[in-house]
Structure 1
Amino acid sequence: MCIAVFLWQSHPLYPFLLFLNRDEYHNRATEALRWWEDGETVGGRDLVGGGTWLGCTKHGRVAFLTNFRETSSFPDAKSRGDLPLRFLQSQKSPAKFAEEIQEEIALYNGFNLVVADIFSNSMIYITNRPSHGDKLVTQVSPGIHVLSNANLDSPWPKCLRLREGFKHLLSENGSGEFPVKTMVEEVMTNTVKDQEPDLPHVYPPELEYQLSSIFVESPTVALPFPFLLLNLFPMNTLTHGPRCTIQGRYGTRSISAISIKSHGEVCFYERHLEEDDSWKEHTQQFVIQNHSI
């Protein structure tokens, strides 16, 4: 589970600005923000599946992913984190990449994927769980967008709170340079939760309540229906019986921001949770190579 808010092609200085929280088990092996072995790509890595939830390249390719909240899944599905990895390491345009993977998206559990090429001003949203009548692939329009665990810009209360908080910060800072780190702290650490009538009612309400804040910190939760949670929790973390307990803490493991300026300067910031429950910061800065946006 994750939540992201982003600004696309609608600011004079920032063609792209993204804030993203990654929610995951605290004990899931994860590598913090760094340059990868190819020397071209920067991001964190999931050391269990081998993929990533967010990455960027020196040539201005960006990809990020969220899981889709649903009541069924299959354990032999392909790793969703492989999808942003494949785009970042390919040379295909966002549209061509989306066309390429359409034949295989049924092999994955529910996902939302955004892929972008900053230089060509192209951003595509891909999902294998479209709303009724919607397309699998959609070109993202300029403006502010929020992506959580339903379709892009779904009006979940946490998404609306995030949109409004982000919009307020943009208006406060006008057309000048943004204090990105301060902005991240303002909107992405919000712990306000929803009451039962406002929950999406996909999972049991006691779990959805814990997941209804922008910044998630959930203790071990007792659940009456283990089969509902295979998207969120791997099969081997559930104890079957009349009631089951999810083993281990779950919540926001990292807060990330990518800002890209009109002259191609990229700042990738991450604050992530260490094993000792301390928070550590990393920042990578570079200029998109061989391109003028």
Structure 2
Amino acid sequence: MCIAAWAWECHPARGLLLLFNRDEYLSRPTQPAQWWAAGEDSKEILGGRDELGGGTWMGCTRDGKLAFLTNVREPDSIIGAKTRGQLPVRFLQGSHSPLEYATEIAKEADRYNGFNLILADVNSGTMVYISNRPGGDPVIQTVAPGLHVLSNGAIDSPWPKALRLGQSFKKYLETNDDSEASLKQMVEELMMDTIKPDRSMVPDTGVDPEWEYKLSSIFIDTAKGQARYGTRSMVALASKSDGEVTFYERYLENSSWKENMIQFQMENAQQDLRGTSE
């Protein structure tokens, strides 16, 4: 279901600082973050990849585009709906601006199950939010500079887990210095938080209240029937004003947590990447 927090155009050293947790069934085949393209002539995307649907939940490109996606929690799903993971891919590999793409997606939004989608062009300083829930016309809005949180309701909805992450993110930025090493620290301190709110504070989305409660922490580790469900990967992404981007990922592979750190220059596609994995 996923949760994200980010500082947009308001950090003294970073144009964008993003934290993102992806929640999914552990049995769903997934590739960790790397450079990949959907086709031979497609622009490369840096991000994880869902092997089942072929899309991604979060990705960026060398020319400054970024997109990430969360599902909207709802009791019923559309049978035969289009895969939501293609929504970020189409933006990242296309030529539309965030607003142009959001306007195009709005025309077909009813073909998807509930989604929240953030689209950004870091170079132009433009960020747009689009959601197809609740029903009716899709919501499209420009995201203002500042700190924001997105879980499985609308952007900046006061869900307990969103409020908790937003508060801890704000406090962390106020009390810690800016460094690449801090990306890993932020993930460990903020995105692995398993604290759940009081049951009375859990939002009523129409799904089973017990399931909603199990999903009410920032980091999730639970089960639905015999299937394990939880946080599969955590990402911290930071872009500097000079175009340098650092992408840190902590991901689950065969019951073990691994790390991935990739850096690239956003303004120069020819510059060599510096990456390490373990």
TM value normalised by structure 1 = 0.86
Q: In structure 2, what is the Cα distance between the partners aligned to 1:39 and 1:65?
A: 19
TM superposition shift of 1:247: 3.3
TM superposition shift of 1:131: 8.6
Matched residue, 1:99: 103
CA contact (8 A) 1:7 1:145 kept: yes
CA contact (8 A) 1:131 1:151 kept: no
CA contact (8 A) 1:265 1:285 kept: yes
> Deviation above 3 Å: which 4+ runs of structure 1?
none
Matched residue, 2:260: 282
Match of residue 74, structure 1, among 78, 91, 98: 78
Q: In structure 2, what is the Cα distance between the partners aligned to 1:143 and 1:166?
A: 12
Q: Return the structure number with greater strand share.
A: 2
SS in 1 for 2:87: helix
CA contact (8 A) 1:12 1:262 kept: no
Which shifted more, 188-197 or 152-161? 188-197
Q: Which runs of 5+ in 1 are unaligned?
A: 221-245
Matched residue, 1:27: 27
Match of residue 264, structure 1, among 238, 243, 260: 243
How many residues of Structure 1 are paired with residues of Structure 2 in the alignment?
A: 263
TM superposition shift of 1:289: 2.2
CA contact (8 A) 1:2 1:148 kept: yes
CA contact (8 A) 2:68 2:119 kept: yes
Q: In structure 1, what is the Cα distance between the partners aligned to 2:85 and 2:61?
A: 16
Decide whether aligned partners of structure 1 residues 28 and 135 sit closer, same or farther in structure 2, where only a CA change above 3 A counts: closer
Q: In structure 1, what is the Cα distance between the partners aligned to 2:258 and 2:2?
A: 19
Question: For residues 203-238 of structure 1, what are the alpha-carbon distances to aligned partners after superposition, in whole Å with 9 as ceiling and x for unaligned?
Answer: 222111110000000034xxxxxxxxxxxxxxxxxx
Q: In structure 2, what is the Cα distance between the partners aligned to 1:167 and 1:124?
A: 22
Match of residue 197, structure 2, among 179, 194, 198: 194
Counterpart code for 2:189: E
Matched residue, 2:276: none
Counterpart code for 1:260: S
CA RMSD of aligned residues (A): 1.7
Matched residue, 2:13: 13
Match of residue 44, structure 1, among 39, 45, 48: 48
TM superposition shift of 1:257: 1.1
Decide whether aligned partners of structure 1 residues 131 and 103 sit closer, same or farther in structure 2, where only a CA change above 3 A counts: closer
CA contact (8 A) 2:2 2:20 kept: yes
Question: For residues 241-262 of structure 1, what are the alpha-carbon distances to aligned partners after superposition, in whole Å with 9 as ceiling and x for unaligned?
Answer: xxxxx33100000001111011
Q: In structure 1, what is the Cα distance between the partners aligned to 2:208 and 2:198?
A: 13
CA contact (8 A) 1:80 1:108 kept: yes
TM superposition shift of 1:135: 6.1
Q: In structure 2, what is the Cα distance between the partners aligned to 1:135 and 1:77?
A: 16
Counterpart code for 1:127: S
SS in 2 for 1:97: helix
Match of residue 157, structure 1, among 160, 164, 167: 160
SS in 2 for 1:249: strand
Counterpart code for 1:32: P
Question: For residues 141-175 of structure 1, what are the alpha-carbon distances to aligned partners after superposition, in whole Å with 9 as ceiling and x for unaligned?
Answer: 1000000000000000000000010000000126x
Q: In structure 1, what is the Cα distance between the partners aligned to 2:100 and 2:149?
A: 24
SS in 2 for 1:252: strand
CA contact (8 A) 2:66 2:121 kept: yes
CA contact (8 A) 2:202 2:212 kept: yes
Question: For residues 24-56 of structure 1, what are the alpha-carbon distances to aligned partners after superposition, in whole Å with 9 as ceiling and x for unaligned?
Answer: 000001011111045632100011111100000
SS in 2 for 1:219: strand
CA contact (8 A) 1:130 1:151 kept: no
TM value normalised by structure 2 = 0.91
Q: Does 1:108 align with 2:112?
A: yes
CA contact (8 A) 2:62 2:268 kept: no
Q: In structure 2, what is the Cα distance between the partners aligned to 1:289 and 1:130?
A: 38
